[in-house]
């Protein structure tokens, strides 16, 4: 079973690898999967795990990186699974959208996948705004001593403020040197386009897609379950998946791999916990700390292709 981790930069793809590796390693997932062995760049996985365990944000995947992590898992029924997750940087996917091209090797890698996990960072949703509104929302540089106000999760403003964050390359590019928005894009359109592109590359029909809303700890109080949140915040994506049952099996899940925001430093309470116990997985129906349930859901949503 090969999984494609799809999503824009900073959406939680690498963190998910660290989280699931941790969960199966420490046995949190023993009722679902146990880990036989790992293949791939062990240094890379160790680096992810080290950051994850210490509560630090995992390092951004380099654009040129073509890391592939292979986890050999055994289900509680004794079935063996090979989980191959090519960890392509979000910038690669942005390149697909902006340049309408992709590397043949990336195409080939994606073509071997038979399931997709689509990651969404709720703090970096680009909405459909007019050129005039976009220009109006561009914040001038803060003067010295001025406090930067925090944007609410899901706000467009936040996505367009983090111009100093090297992980947000594609957001920066939307602004030209005059500070105006150049490349038209919205998160919903980009994600729908990416799924459309991926469905060109992958033969499996219907294709299983797990839509993962990252940083769910920040949305935990919003009163919405993951599917309702996607419907409200990214209706185009929600419709696209719902209206294509012949092409996609899909489900929605909220995920907070750290249980809090590692960029702001995890609380003492969280740091006291075993790293695998910090993980928060919110399905529409259940809440758990086992991210491997996401894999199981992906498998159960379409049995015959695995």
Partner 1 sequence: MDVSSSTVNGDATGGDCSNNGCPFKTTGQCLEGLVPGECPNRTMRERDPEENPEEDIPSRSNNIADLTPTEYRSLPPGSEITLSEAGSASCNGQPIVVFTIGQVRSGKTTLFAEIFKHLHQDVTEEILFRGSVTLPAFLDLWQLATIESGLDQSETGRTLRAQDFSYLNLNLCCAKGDLSLFLANASGEIFFDALLNLGDPTKQYDDLTLGNYYLIVYDGEKLSTLKDRYGEEQEMIDLLDRLRALGYLNQAASFAVAVLKYDVVQEAGPQAMNHCDSVVARLRQRYPILLQASPYLKISARPKSTTHESPNHPLDVIREIAASVPTIASSFAMERIVPNRELAMLANYEWAGGSR
- Contact set with partner 1 (CB under 8 A): 63-64, 91, 95-104, 107, 128, 130-133, 169, 172-173, 176, 182, 184-186, 188-189, 192-193, 196-197, 199-200, 205, 231, 235-236, 238-240, 242-244, 246-247
Q: Is the CB of 34 or the CB of 244 nearer to partner 1?
A: 244
With residue 301 as reference, give the H or E element that holds it. helix 292-301
In whole angstroms, the minimum distance from the beta carbon of 183 to partner 1 comes to 9
**Least spacing, CB of residue 13 vs partner 1, in Å:** 17
Strands 3-7 and 115-120: parallel
Strand partners, 87: 67
Spatial distance between the Cα atoms of 32 and 53, rounded to a whole number of angstroms? 22
Residue closer to partner 1 (CB basis): 124 or 170:
170
Residue 38 or 225: the one with the smaller Cβ distance to partner 1 is: 225
* Cβ neighbours, 10 Å, residue 143: 6
Sign of CA dihedral 143, 147, 152, 153: positive
d(CA 277, CA 22): 10
Shortest Cβ 66–partner 1 spacing (Å): 11
φ and ψ at 248, to 5 degrees? -135, 135
Q: Kindly tell me which of 159 and 279 has the beta carbon lying closer to partner 1.
A: 159
Nearer to partner 1, 76 or 242 (CB): 242
Using the minimum distance from each CB to partner 1, give the nearer residue, 128 or 151.
128
Minimum distance, C-beta of residue 30 to partner 1, in the bound complex (Å): 39
User: Nearest distance from residue 249's CB to partner 1, in Å?
Assistant: 14
Closest separation between CB of residue 53 and partner 1, Å? 30
- Report which secondary-structure segment, H or E, holds 209: strand 207-213
> Are residues 213 and 226 in contact, defined by beta-carbon separation less than 8 angstroms?
yes
Residue 258 tokens, joined: 């750290």
| 60/65 Cα distance (integer angstroms) | 10
Nearest distance from C-beta of residue 17 to partner 1, angstroms: 21
74 closest CA partner among 295, 261, 282: 295
The bridge status of strand 248-256 relative to strand 207-213 is: parallel
Please say which residue, 130 or 143, places its beta carbon nearer to partner 1. Answer: 130
Residues in Cβ contact with 225 at an 8 Å cutoff, skipping those fewer than 6 apart: 252, 254, 282, 284
Q: Which is nearer to partner 1, 74 or 244 (CB)?
A: 244
Q: Nearest approach, Cβ of 231 to partner 1 (angstroms)?
A: 6
Between CA 89 and CA 62 the distance in angstroms is 6
């Amino acid at each position: 079973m090969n999984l494609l981790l799809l999503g824009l930069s900073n959406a939680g793809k690498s963190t998910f690898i660290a989280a699931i590796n941790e969960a199966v390693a420490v046995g949190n997932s023993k009722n679902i999967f146990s880990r036989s062995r790992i293949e791939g760049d062990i240094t890379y996985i160790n680096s992810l795990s080290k950051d994850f365990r210490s509560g630090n944000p995992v390092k951004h995947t380099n654009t040129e990186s073509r890391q592939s992590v292979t986890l050999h898992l055994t289900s509680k029924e004794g079935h063996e699974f090979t989980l191959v997750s090519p960890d392509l940087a979000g910038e690669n996917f942005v390149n697909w959208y902006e340049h309408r091209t992709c590397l043949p090797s990336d195409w080939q890698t994606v073509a071997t996948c038979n399931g997709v996990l689509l990651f969404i960072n709720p703090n970096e949703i680009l909405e459909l705004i007019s050129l005039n509104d976009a220009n109006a929302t561009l914040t001038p540089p803060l003067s010295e001593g001025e406090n930067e106000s925090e944007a609410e999760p899901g706000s467009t403003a936040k996505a367009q403020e983090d111009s100093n964050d090297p992980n947000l390359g594609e957001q920066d590019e939307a602004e030209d040197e005059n500070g105006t928005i150049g490349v038209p894009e919205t998160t919903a359109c980009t994600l729908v386009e990416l799924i459309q592109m991926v469905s060109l590359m992958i033969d499996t029909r219907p294709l299983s897609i797990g839509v993962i809303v990252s940083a769910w700890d920040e949305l935990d109080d919003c009163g919405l379950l993951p599917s309702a949140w996607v419907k409200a915040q990214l209706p185009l994506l929600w419709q696209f998946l719902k209206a294509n049952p012949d092409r996609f099996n899909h489900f929605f899940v909220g995920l907070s791999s750290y249980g809090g925001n590692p960029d702001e430093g995890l609380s003492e309470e969280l740091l006291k916990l075993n790293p695998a116990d910090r993980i928060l997985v919110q399905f529409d129906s259940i809440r758990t700390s086992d991210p491997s349930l996401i894999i199981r859901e992906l498998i159960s949503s379409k049995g015959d292709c695995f």
